[in-house]
Amino acid sequence: MTGRSHRHVSTPSSTPGLQLVSGHNPRVLILGSFPSQRSLASDEYYGNPQNHFWKVMETLFSIDHQLPYPLRCSLLTGYGIALWDVVAACHRPGSADSRIREPVFNDLAGYLASHPSLRLVALNGAAAGSYFLKSRALPALPSVILPSTSPANARSTLPEKIRQWEIIRSVCCGDD
């Protein structure tokens, strides 16, 4: 379920991010910017219970957000979804994306090239979109910046986020 071969090594004083979560033939790669302190501590993508990511996935794919994390990831990859971050390691006090310094990017171009099954890169928020452009891993497939599921994004309600994130279900379930 994880792809350790696609991870950049952090510098000695930087904080490393989380490992790639991916199945064999992903259709959608969801990229965040860099995990929150809470996610890093729990070693789980979107590990802050205030983050709407798993509630969005529950609505779109009926994956109960309270299931154990490994099971949620397994079910998600079963739908053809991979999870990763644009930034592999960085210096960042706290959890704010605006405080990311000296980012080291994941090998997104390598991952995209080795997974021709991908149909969409979904960026979880504007910061992920900005770092994605800086990473220069621009794919020859569509990418979309979706509203951040972070608790810091108070501009969009959970129902609004779900409505915009439905593109993920369309691509994974062939509704496109």
pLDDT tens by residue, 28-46: 999 999 999 999 999 999 9
Residue 5 lies in a domain: no
- The set of catalytic residues is 51
Residue 141: domain span:
14-172
Predicted pLDDT at 84: 98
Predicted pLDDT at 3: 42
91 near 1, Cβ under 8 Å?
no
Strand order in the sheet with 101-105: 15-16, 87-91, 101-105
Counting the structural domains of the chain, the total is 1
Say yes or no to pLDDT of 113 above 80. Answer: yes
Residue 9 lies in a domain: no
Which CATH number do you get for residue 29?
A: 3.40.470.10
Instruction: Report DSSP letters for 4-47, one per residue.
Output: GGG-PPPPTTSEE-PPPB--SS-SEEEEESS--HHHHHHT-TT-
Residue 7 lies in a domain: no
Residue 2 lies in a domain: no
58 pLDDT band (50/70/90 cuts)? very high
pTM: 0.90
Predicted pLDDT at 6: 44
Say yes or no to pLDDT of 162 above 50. Answer: yes
Say yes or no to pLDDT of 107 above 80. Answer: yes
Residue 6 lies in a domain: no
Predicted pLDDT at 153: 86
